[in-house]
Structure 1
Amino acid sequence: MHRRIFAPGVLAAASLLLAIPASAASHTPGAPGIGDPYYPYYGNGGYDVSHYDLRLQYQPATDTLAGTATIQARTTQDLSRFDLDFLLDVSEVRVNGAKAAFTTSGQHELEITPKNPLAKGTPITVVVRYSGVPSTKSAYGFTTWHRTPDGGVAADEPEAAWWWFPSNDHPSDKATYDVSVAVPDGTQALSNGTLQSTTSRLGWTRYNWRENKPQATYLATLAVGKFDITTSTSDGGVPVVNAYSEALGDNDGAARASVERTGELVDWLSGYFGPYPFSSAGGYVPNTTTGYALETQTRVYYSPRQFANGSNTSLVVHELAHQWYGDSVSLKGWKDIWLNEGFARYAQWLWSEHEGEGAAQELADYVYASHPADDAFWTVKPGDPGPDHQFDAAVYDRGAVAIQALRNEVGEDAFFAILKGWPKEHAYGNASVADFQKYAEQVSGKPLGALFDTWLFQPSKPSAPAARTASVAQSPTAAPVRPKSWKKIEATNDAHAH
């Protein structure tokens, strides 16, 4: 036992602490992580955000970003302190109008101590003034800010917000957004949702974007550069905004031939998934050197490299399918990634059927036959792949075979009712793999635990494929026949490998 000897000043402080009302003394710091086992320090505890208002100014020549974030939230516990996830340099923080103390810790924690403790259920307005050069900031040894010759881009998964706005960075805390960005005249600024207005003054143009439906932080995007912007409306009435860097070179034609079909593909996907859930759709192709695409809400990010070998509408189908599966219905935790990637991949299989380039069943057969039992492919569990395999090909391909197995098990009518009903059931919310199984059982009237366990959670090749076609069943050792669509579908693996 060690006896602690207190100095007089410490004893006085202790006496003062005892004099604090119990209600105030019970306030504790919010957790520095929201509780996701894959990423323990992503997100934060103690509050729930409802809206982000970001007023920014960006200078492409120096990659300098300055701004003010105003965050509307509500406390979920008695709080003495709380964190935001952020990397840029902060000059001032206010909570409910009063200046708050702040410091940094860990890889990306901005610790905020309000002037007065906050009771559970209190509405709070947090104002953060900041500036910095995003491309010079890193966490865990990497950056997700992509500086380009004419600007910069924020688009990555599972994190991207830290480099351009303070946030509660986890998909389980979704919010609406107003993003206002001033850039030099002749440069454009893109973000999510719809463009509300533009104003010009003293050599700067300000773009005001609004996303009025709940959005996960990693799905928020910012792109500044010199773009050719096209606008249209789909036959179903969805406004479409697409943008292409003026420096795409040889990739320009293939990019436009793919992304300009967004309106058509949104309407087509609506036939399977129900009405498009957002106020606009579209995509942008900046002048970056990255190799992936990302389903940033309403405004998909595409790397130019994705079109180096020609157009790829299958890739566009994949990213647009995420608007329902991943964006409107977001995962509860990152282990539920199958709900995003398995269904986006399966949408590509449905497009293949539509185009007459291989039925979904033929694609399932091909995936099953292409991987022998000792292939590491089968050790990845799509229903809980672990953070190191979250974007493994098995999450996409085995995950889509699992969906085909579900289709065969419950029948066509129930399957397509599930496919369309799920986005409606959990619109603008969050859900888990367990929630999906429960919903599928409810709609189909069948117990599905064994099927889900076999295809999503066992680290081994199932003993029988998902109702193989007659040709495969008759010649199980024959070389698999590659459907015509496979090459374009497979390219999506590279699109998400980052």
Structure 2
Amino acid sequence: MDQRTPVRRTARAAALVLLVLTTSTGCTGGVEGRPGAAGLRDPYFPKLGNGGYDVTHYDLALDVDPAAHRLRGTATITARATQDLSAFDLDLVGLTVESATVDGRPAAVNRAGQELTLRPDAASRLRRGSTFRTVVRYSGSPRTLTDPDGSQEGWLRTADGSVALGEPTGSMAWFPGNNHPSDKASYDIAVTVPEGLTAVSNGELASRRTSGGTTTYRWHTGEPMASYLATVAIGRFDTKESTTADGIKVFTAADTTVAADSARILARVPEVVKWEAERFGPYPFSATGAIVERSGDAGYALETQNRPFFHGPPDAGLLVHEMAHQWFGDSVTPDSWRDMWLNEGFATYAEWLWEADKNDRPVQGRFDAAFEDDDNWAFPPADPPTAADISQAPVYGRGAMVIHRIRQAVDDDKRFFALVRGWTKAHRHGNASTADFTAYVEKTTGQDLTELWNTWLYGRSRPASKD
């Protein structure tokens, strides 16, 4: 009907009734708005994350009994509504929710798989743009999850405690949240453990206090962090604290059984941070360090923010790789899991650069070896076929080849590293996609690099020549 056509009074009345029903009775308890989406439709993990709000801060208080494999937690989540909300979801697996409030008022709780749906009471008004606080109290035995590629994450038991690893989905095994890399927040994490054990997490150690047979460690992460980068490691550790010449606080923790073997490489953390800062731009966080567990406690290393996790003492190449993620992945975080090659390609290329600088092994030689490796041509790094493939060889090796081809296209090392530093500055503490990156490179270089992207980033077969 044309907007200029007169509307009869009965039609107006019907429309008014419909409006009232939609805004009042359409939501339980008379809360206005609509439910936030259950899942952000990530290309590989469509149920991860939730719509309708943006988390700004997590305050997690955990009481952990490793021997009994029990956790009791309180998650206080501060968020901003991005729409008028009648209900919203958090991601949580396995643990029992004992209570939930929104802005101090009890909220109705519903569980369905990994979705925890909270519906505020009638007095709540979660308007678009408003800030609200959710408190969830929960407990239970946190689960170890199995990834599509067969690796384990979530809450893992160790020989003398436990460790929480979250890439790509595991954080929902130990705290409720908006579990997608596109929603970053600051964190305070307090962990209470039996006296004699140490609890290590992200950021700066704010305090430790022992009382009544337990010790509480409080950690603060002021810069935004994606949920998959949050960690807690509990056990018997040899810890060391220091401060770099640039004022960055260093905290390293090594399981007592591997502390001696780890000491020399962990002492190089400040050296690696300084070396990478010269190439990638200022270190993006106030704290750095590492966590080293026994080799049997997990099957992989992970770039947990401020404090990468290692399964056994790492060599220099692995340390360089995980520390490079502090720029690529932790500070500049992918928009979705399809963009993971931006993390791994740059971190792998950092290894190549280190080898060239420290061991006189030319980057071109590493590029040539990667080109000849059939595994790197299984699929395009920017388009893995399934969730099981996002951590496979092309994302790493061929991702690094893409970076080297950009360097060759620029044909000037000074301009190339200025481009890299510009990228980490432009998206510092934010999110970026592959499209953001390719557009940035073309704008910065003034070149049309369509052929480079089509061949190296999206091409489905190895070109006839690496030149």
Same fold (TM over 0.5): yes
Q: What's the counterpart of residue 161 of structure 1?
A: 171
* Shift in Å, 1:20: 4.6
* Shift in Å, 1:156: 3.3
Asked whether the equivalents of residues 62 and 71 of structure 2 are also in contact (C-alpha less than 8 Å), the reply is yes
Separation of aligned partners in 1, 2:50 and 2:311: 31
Separation of aligned partners in 2, 1:164 and 1:294: 17
Q: Residue by residue, what CA displacement relative to the aligned partner does 1:268-316 show, whole Å, maximum 9, x if unpaired? A: 1000011100011011112453220000000111012xx4xxx511100
Q: What's the counterpart of residue 95 of structure 1?
A: 102
Q: What's the counterpart of residue 395 of structure 2?
A: 395
Q: Residue by residue, what CA displacement relative to the aligned partner does 1:241-275 show, whole Å, maximum 9, x if unpaired? A: 10011233xxx444333233111100010000111
Q: What's the counterpart of residue 346 of structure 2?
A: 343
Gaps of 5+ in 1: 1-15, 468-498
Asked whether the equivalents of residues 234 and 267 of structure 1 are also in contact (C-alpha less than 8 Å), the reply is no
* Shift in Å, 1:162: 1.1
Aligned Cα root-mean-square deviation (Å): 2.1
1:202 aligns with 2:205: no
Separation of aligned partners in 2, 1:167 and 1:133: 18
Structure 1's 429 and 18: CA in aligned 2 closer, same or farther, altered over 3 A? closer
Separation of aligned partners in 1, 2:36 and 2:206: 35
Q: Residue by residue, what CA displacement relative to the aligned partner does 1:417-451 show, whole Å, maximum 9, x if unpaired? A: 11111110100000011111111112211111221
Q: Residue by residue, what CA displacement relative to the aligned partner does 1:309-343 show, whole Å, maximum 9, x if unpaired? A: xx511100000000001000000011001110000
**Count of residue pairs the alignment pairs up:** 439
Separation of aligned partners in 2, 1:22 and 1:243: 54
Q: What's the counterpart of residue 461 of structure 1?
A: 462
Q: What's the counterpart of residue 7 of structure 1?
A: none
Farther off after superposition, 447-456 or 186-195:
447-456
Q: What's the counterpart of residue 367 of structure 1?
A: 370
Separation of aligned partners in 2, 1:174 and 1:166: 14
Separation of aligned partners in 2, 1:377 and 1:279: 36
TM-score under structure 2 length normalisation:
0.89
Gaps of 5+ in 2: 1-16, 27-31
Aligned partner of residue 464 in structure 2, secondary structure: coil
Counterpart AA for 2:400: A
Separation of aligned partners in 1, 2:147 and 2:395: 26
Q: What's the counterpart of residue 11 of structure 1?
A: none
Identity of counterpart residues, as a percentage? 45
1:50 aligns with 2:56: yes
Once the two structures are superposed, the pairs formed by residues 296-335 of structure 1 within 5 Å of their partners are: 296-304=304-312, 307=313, 312-335=315-338
Structure 1's 448 and 24: CA in aligned 2 closer, same or farther, altered over 3 A? farther
Q: What's the counterpart of residue 7 of structure 2?
A: none
Q: What's the counterpart of residue 6 of structure 2?
A: none
Aligned partner of residue 450 in structure 1, secondary structure: helix
Aligned partner of residue 297 in structure 2, secondary structure: coil
Separation of aligned partners in 2, 1:133 and 1:222: 15
Separation of aligned partners in 2, 1:325 and 1:24: 47
Q: What's the counterpart of residue 116 of structure 2?
A: 110
Asked whether the equivalents of residues 236 and 267 of structure 1 are also in contact (C-alpha less than 8 Å), the reply is no
Farther off after superposition, 174-183 or 115-124:
115-124
* Shift in Å, 1:24: 7.1
Structure 1's 138 and 347: CA in aligned 2 closer, same or farther, altered over 3 A? closer
Q: Residue by residue, what CA displacement relative to the aligned partner does 1:72-92 show, whole Å, maximum 9, x if unpaired? A: 001111222111001211100
1:76 aligns with 2:82: yes
Aligned partner of residue 109 in structure 2, secondary structure: strand
* Shift in Å, 1:138: 7.7
Q: What's the counterpart of residue 409 of structure 1?
A: 409
Asked whether the equivalents of residues 181 and 227 of structure 2 are also in contact (C-alpha less than 8 Å), the reply is yes
Separation of aligned partners in 2, 1:330 and 1:23: 39
Separation of aligned partners in 2, 1:429 and 1:420: 15
Q: Residue by residue, what CA displacement relative to the aligned partner does 1:169-189 show, whole Å, maximum 9, x if unpaired? A: 001000000001111111111
Counterpart AA for 2:408: N
Once the two structures are superposed, the pairs formed by residues 66-465 of structure 1 within 5 Å of their partners are: 66-87=72-93, 88-106=95-113, 108-116=114-122, 118-135=126-143, 144-248=154-258, 252-287=259-294, 288-304=296-312, 307=313, 312-371=315-374, 377-386=376-385, 387-411=387-411, 412-465=413-466
Q: What's the counterpart of residue 41 of structure 1?
A: 47
Separation of aligned partners in 1, 2:343 and 2:250: 22
Aligned partner of residue 45 in structure 2, secondary structure: coil
Asked whether the equivalents of residues 58 and 77 of structure 2 are also in contact (C-alpha less than 8 Å), the reply is yes
* Shift in Å, 1:50: 0.2
Q: What's the counterpart of residue 491 of structure 1?
A: none
Separation of aligned partners in 2, 1:370 and 1:37: 27
Separation of aligned partners in 1, 2:48 and 2:71: 23
Separation of aligned partners in 1, 2:144 and 2:207: 31
Q: Residue by residue, what CA displacement relative to the aligned partner does 1:201-243 show, whole Å, maximum 9, x if unpaired? A: 1111111100000000000001111111011223433221100
Structure 1's 418 and 24: CA in aligned 2 closer, same or farther, altered over 3 A? farther
Farther off after superposition, 136-145 or 178-187:
136-145
Asked whether the equivalents of residues 144 and 155 of structure 2 are also in contact (C-alpha less than 8 Å), the reply is no
Separation of aligned partners in 2, 1:125 and 1:281: 30
Asked whether the equivalents of residues 135 and 147 of structure 1 are also in contact (C-alpha less than 8 Å), the reply is no
